[in-house]
Amino acid sequence: MVEAGAWWTLLAAPGLLLGFAVLAVAGDAVLDARSAGRPVSLATAVRPFLGVPRALVAQPRRMPAPDRLLWRTGVITVPVAAVLSTLVIPFGNHAVADLSVGVVWFNAMEVLTWAGLWLAGWGPNAAFSLIGGYRFLAQGLAYELPLMFALISTATGAESLRVGDIAAAQHGLWYAVWMPVAFAAYLAGVLAFSFLGPFAYPVGRDLAGGVLGETSGVDRLLLQAGRWLWLASGSAMAVPLFLGGGAGPGLPASVWSLVKTLLVLGLLVWVLRRLPMIRADRYVEFAWVVLIPLTIVQVLVPAVVNLNR
Amino acid sequence: MDVTGPALRGTAARPRVLLATLPRGTAVRLAAERLLRLRDWPQVSTPAQADLLLVAGPHCVSLQAALDRLWQDLPAPRARVHARSADEVEDALEAGRARLRSPTVQHEQAAPEEGEQQDGEQRTQEHQEGDQDAPGHAQRDHHGRDRASGRRTADDQADDAHGGHSGGRDQHDAGHRPEAEQGARGDAHDGQEADGHRDDEGHGSNGGHGGGEMEMPAGLPMAEQGEDRDGLTLDQLHVPLGALLTDWPTGLTIRLVLQGDVVQHATLEEPATPVADAAAEPFWVRPWLRAAAGDPVPVGEAVRRRMAAHMDSLGRLLAVAGWPSEVLSARRLRDDLLSGAPRAAVAPRLERFTRRVGFSRTLAWLTRGIGVVTAQDAGEAGVSGPAARAGGDVTDRYRQWLTDIGHDLRRLEESSPLEVAVEESPRGHWSAEHPPSSALIGLLPRLLEGAELAAARLIVASLDPDPDELAARTLEVTHG
């Protein structure tokens, strides 16, 4: 059973999240080095973090007539929402707060990214940045509903919105196994709200970086960190929702949580290199015509199973 | 605690590089991209993200002002270096790194805080490492003062007119932005500043602060409105693409009128050319030029150059399509081909690349139906080469490149002499009067109108004209 509220979890949860995000960045750097034909060593993995001290001394960038308040708000919202989302994610048998509406909390934090990224695109008063912000809204229209139905599938299966209950309700048969469509839609959603890889549309290179194009220094660091923190948070949330949480033979629950989270994270880091950026205008069509009907049918499956029990 | 030193060392250990390629700078760009890849110095696409501005190619007067604007937009710590030929790239990179690492240089370059300006923009004092790059250098302090008071002076305009720089980019912008381009500021690198055309400077004084008729935010004029394709009245943005845009044909400038992100109108500008004494021939067609001049060139060499050119184009297309990991593979293959790697060394990786990219259903789904050029259209426009043979959309064109590369791979070792009339140059049948790229460029305006910005970038990348070929024509005309 998940215990909630121990004081040290408040420190451990963001720390763990940051650790996972750092591992994801390092893993991506190693894969990059391999395809670029550079020798791979430990130094390869830490090179991306050379940018962190740099960001702290970089000159802040100002545009003419920026909306500074909203710009800052947006930039800060993205990583903060990612950290807040971890409050309800149990790691092993511990969670910061095992809310009775945990799934809704996670979803609400994720939707905050919409506002954050849109404001970050709006703030600098620059066309490409603004288009980047709009692009995230278009992308949101495509990924959000399938993601919500995927979350609802698991809640329906467990007859509870409490994340701990969902993890406990799987009894060894993971939801990933009997709700594969929901699992796939969820993982796609994770990449989408991290705006990485195939879902990097709001920060596309064709837009000269879109939302990221006008940010430098700490602003840029916060937005970039937000992306990888969200990827880590989404991977961690996949474990209680679809992979049975900390349940597993032999090892302590926290070790199982760790292993499963790393596997999901590794899978996502690999996938985000294997696909080109998907433009929202094409993805919306696919999402509404194919994904939404499929995920609705997916919600029906646990509903019918539970009614017949 | 001094954090600046370690932070500067961190920056210098892995600088982010903004590579600005000048016309005829292809060879320099290739050398630079190869070194950056091997050193893991990331290439970025806007000045905001960059530490190091690397200018690649022979001196080009008409783009000087655009380069200066890019430099102004780089946040400190920063450095600017210029490599005029491929041999200079390594030294230029080292010089840039040294400058980034040095606290004294960075201190001189850092923007002096003049307090908050009326528009809140932080002043960036100009500091240039090369005097020859900085006309109007001496007047800077004077101008800085003027601008701090928020006024443009006649001096300023004179300064701008001869391609000098104004430290206060905001007033500067307000000054020459009568068409409401202010919204497009973000793409400084994408061209609205980088186009190097200063002909609208004259509007400076009236556009500068709203003309006194209406209160404008930061003195910037509002967007004008126009009918859009759905019969709505929407704001129009004037956004030039080029000439220093990354992953874009070097020197090409297209002026767009955007509503939302839909292109309403596209006009071509005459490509910028380097100073006439530039010895560098257009890189990708060099074997054909040599063969046309009577030198015996083995077919294998020309074929190798053509494969590398297609790989370069594919790398660009993939960069625009947003597939950074495959961009790396494409550029690595291109560099290996150019450095003379034997067939056996590239064949397995080439096959894997073709499988991943050419057979990618996702990429095909994303590029289907965009920028259709039928074989008939191509024929009428005088297009030959892969774009004409593909006769279809963006998907068909990149698959055609891959097919051509597959055929060429078998011919890498052929040593018979190259015949210009028989062997196609990378972009079509070579003729100095009608270089194949000019036909490709001619197709662009019609194809871009009505496309979304993302699609427009894909269309340009899938045709990938090489404006250097046109410069070859003008040179021959003026010298011949």
Chain B residues near residue A51 by CB distance under 8 angstroms? 10, 14, 16
CA atoms of A65 and B121, how far apart (whole Å) = 8
Mutate to test the interface with B, among A38, A40, A63 (most CBs of B within 10 A): A63
At residue A1 the predicted structure's pLDDT band, cuts being 50, 70 and 90, is low
Residue showing tokens 């190091």: B52
- Per the CB < 8 A criterion, the answer to whether B194 and A135 are in contact is no
CA atoms of B144 and A210, how far apart (whole Å) = 31
Could you tell me which residues are beta bridge partners of residue B425?
B428
**Min Cα–Cα distance to chain A from B274, Å:** 25
A35/B147: higher pLDDT: A35
The one-digit pLDDT tens for each residue of chain B (480 residues) are 466 777 787 778 888 899 999 888 889 999 999 999 998 898 888 888 888 999 998 888 888 888 888 888 888 788 899 988 888 899 999 999 888 888 777 766 654 443 333 333 333 333 333 333 333 333 333 333 333 333 333 333 333 333 333 333 333 333 333 333 333 333 334 433 333 333 333 333 333 333 344 455 555 555 666 666 666 666 777 888 877 888 888 888 889 888 877 888 888 887 776 665 555 678 898 888 888 888 888 888 899 999 999 999 999 999 988 898 899 999 999 999 999 888 888 999 999 999 999 999 999 998 888 888 888 888 888 888 888 888 889 999 999 999 999 998 888 888 888 888 888 889 888 887 888 888 888 888 888 988 888 889 899 999 998 888 876 555 544 443
Supply the pLDDT for residue B395: 92
Q: What is the pTM of this model?
A: 0.80
Cβ pair A37:B332 closer than 8 A? yes
A window 190-209, beta carbon within 8 A of B: 198, 200-201, 204-209
DSSP 3-state of B243: coil
The answer to whether A62 faces chain B, any CB pair under 8 Å, is: yes
CA atoms of B118 and B104, how far apart (whole Å) = 30
B258, HSE (Cβ side, Cα atoms, 13 Å): 25
Supply the pLDDT for residue B18: 92
CA atoms of B320 and B356, how far apart (whole Å) = 17
**Min Cα–Cα distance to chain A from B252, Å:** 16
CA atoms of B469 and B282, how far apart (whole Å) = 6
**A281, closest residue in chain B (CA to CA):** B366
Q: ipTM, 2 decimals?
A: 0.85
Q: How far is CA B347 from the centre of its chain?
A: 30
- Per the CB < 8 A criterion, the answer to whether A96 and A5 are in contact is yes
Give per-residue burial for B322-335: e unless 16+ CB within 10 Å, then b. bbbbbbbbbbbbbb
The answer to whether A31 faces chain B, any CB pair under 8 Å, is: yes
Cβ pair A64:B174 closer than 8 A? yes
Chain A residues near residue B46 by CB distance under 8 angstroms? 208-209, 213-214
Of B37, B38, B320, the CB nearest to A205: B320
The answer to whether B168 faces chain A, any CB pair under 8 Å, is: no
**A200, closest residue in chain B (CA to CA):** B322
Cβ pair B44:A209 closer than 8 A? yes
CA atoms of B132 and B238, how far apart (whole Å) = 32
Of B3, B173, B366, the CB nearest to A282: B366
Q: How far is CA A60 from the centre of its chain?
A: 27
The answer to whether A218 faces chain B, any CB pair under 8 Å, is: no
Calculate mean pLDDT across residues A148-152: 92
Q: What is the CA radius of gyration of chain A?
A: 19
On the 0-12 / 13-18 / 19+ scale of CB atoms within 10 A, A192 is: buried
Chain A residues near residue B326 by CB distance under 8 angstroms? 276
Cβ pair B37:A37 closer than 8 A? yes
Q: State both tokens at A295.
A: 């995920």
B window 333-372, beta carbon within 8 A of A: 356, 360, 362-363, 365-366
Supply the pLDDT for residue A27: 92
CA atoms of B205 and B203, how far apart (whole Å) = 6
DSSP 3-state of A8: coil
Q: How far is CA B283 from the centre of its chain?
A: 16
**Min Cα–Cα distance to chain B from A46, Å:** 11
The answer to whether A34 faces chain B, any CB pair under 8 Å, is: no
Residue showing tokens 């601008």: B147
CA atoms of A145 and A135, how far apart (whole Å) = 16
The answer to whether A215 faces chain B, any CB pair under 8 Å, is: yes
Cβ pair A205:B324 closer than 8 A? yes
Of A36, A61, A212, the CB nearest to B328: A36
Give per-residue burial for B251-262: e unless 16+ CB within 10 Å, then b. bbbbbbbbbbbb
Cβ pair A214:B48 closer than 8 A? yes
Cβ pair A38:B38 closer than 8 A? yes
What digits encode the pLDDT tens for the residues A215-227? 878 888 899 999 9
**Closest to B314 in 3D by CA, of B272, B283, B350, B365:** B350
A window 241-280, beta carbon within 8 A of B: 273-279
DSSP label at residue A50: G
Cβ pair B454:A207 closer than 8 A? yes
DSSP string for B417-470: BP-TTTSPBTTBS--SSS-HHHHHHHHHHHHHTT-BHHHHHHHHHHH---HHHH
Calculate mean pLDDT across residues A172-191: 89
B96, HSE (Cβ side, Cα atoms, 13 Å): 29
Mutate to test the interface with B, among A28, A191, A206, A285 (most CBs of B within 10 A): A206
The answer to whether B182 faces chain A, any CB pair under 8 Å, is: yes
B window 39-68, beta carbon within 8 A of A: 40, 44-46, 48-49, 51
A-B interface: how many C-beta pairs under 8 angstroms?
196
